[in-house]
Amino acid sequence: MSAPSPLVTAPDGPAPEAPARTAPSVSARSLRLALCLAPLLIALCWAAAHRPVMYEGVRRLVSADPRWLLAGLGCTCLTWVAASCVRQGALPDRLPAGLLLASQFAAGAANHALPGGLGAHAVTVRFLRARGVPLDRATASIGLYSLVKGASKTLMLLVFLAVSPASRRLGELVPDGPELVPAAAVAGGVVTGAGVLLTVVRPLRRPVTGLLRTALADVRVVHARPCRALALWGGAVAMPLVQAGALGCVGAALGLGLSWAEVALAFLA
């Protein structure tokens, strides 16, 4: 018989510790701080270059009606609530309400630094990724959010134009036929170029078609749930109204003499 193998004993001393996370380097922290302070620095430079405008604006704000300014602040807070409703309605996953509202506050702040809503979309995608939402579904929700928001704003503009006395003068704003030819040519060229790229370039076609399939699947799921559909479309309709309300409250506080309907029509247009 062979002798039994000796027992393996643990070595003396403390157990080895798990490797600690490496802290960000000093250069990375400095770059992050510089990026955070860049919008503030740009705003200060603009204010210094336009001192008369800033002085007149501050003077008028000091003499403004504080009650209307407070109402405008309330409408501004409601825009974050409406944006949160649309973001939640564009995604089948359940998101924590408090964190979602905080993310839309941060998204609104980022929109002041990047044009065309890019700042808000970037912050929202980062928030969704942190909540475990895959990148393709997060991107699809951004597309649905933008589509529904644009459609609702256009619908509200048409409603305001239909009931506004200014609708009788809209014929003066419509361009003539020859002026529409270049715009139609550019639009047709863009659509044709995108179709050719998707047809010829296979590495580009695969992710785009996958994103479209994900987006269509999420659209079906969202509209199959009445609470999600109500949050999506109700928030999209309410958002331009509360934004126009904030602008109208500021106008009333400064004594501009414009009605809320006139301010809303100008904002939507």
**Whole-angstrom distance, CA of residue 258 vs CA of residue 168:** 19
**Tokens 């790229």 — which residue?**
197
CA neighbor of 252 nearest in space, from 81, 77, 70? 70
CA neighbor of 127 nearest in space, from 151, 91, 152? 91
Angle, CA of 74, 68 and 77, to the nearest 5°:
10
Q: Could you tell me if 83 and 226 are in contact, meaning their C-beta atoms sit under 8 angstroms apart? A: no
**Whole-angstrom distance, CA of residue 141 vs CA of residue 121:** 10
**Whole-angstrom distance, CA of residue 95 vs CA of residue 112:** 25
Q: Could you tell me if 60 and 88 are in contact, meaning their C-beta atoms sit under 8 angstroms apart? A: no
* Domain spans of the chain, in order of start: 59-168+182-268
Lowest mean pLDDT among 19-23, 140-144, 196-200, 261-265: 19-23
**Whole-angstrom distance, CA of residue 101 vs CA of residue 108:** 11
Q: Could you tell me if 226 and 219 are in contact, meaning their C-beta atoms sit under 8 angstroms apart? A: no
- For residue 112, the one-letter residue type is H
% helix, strand, coil for the chain, step of 5? 75, 0, 25
Helix boundaries (H) for 164-201: 177-200
Q: Which residues contact 209 (CB under 8 A, 6 or more apart)?
A: 198
**Whole-angstrom distance, CA of residue 81 vs CA of residue 200:** 43
Q: What is the pLDDT of residue 208?
A: 77
Residue 15 or residue 228, greater confidence: 228
Q: What is the pLDDT of residue 256?
A: 84
**Per-residue pLDDT band at 20 (split at 50, 70, 90):** low
Q: What is the mean pLDDT of the chain?
A: 83
Based on its alpha-carbon atoms, the radius of gyration of the chain, rounded to whole angstroms, reads 27
Q: What is the reported pTM?
A: 0.72
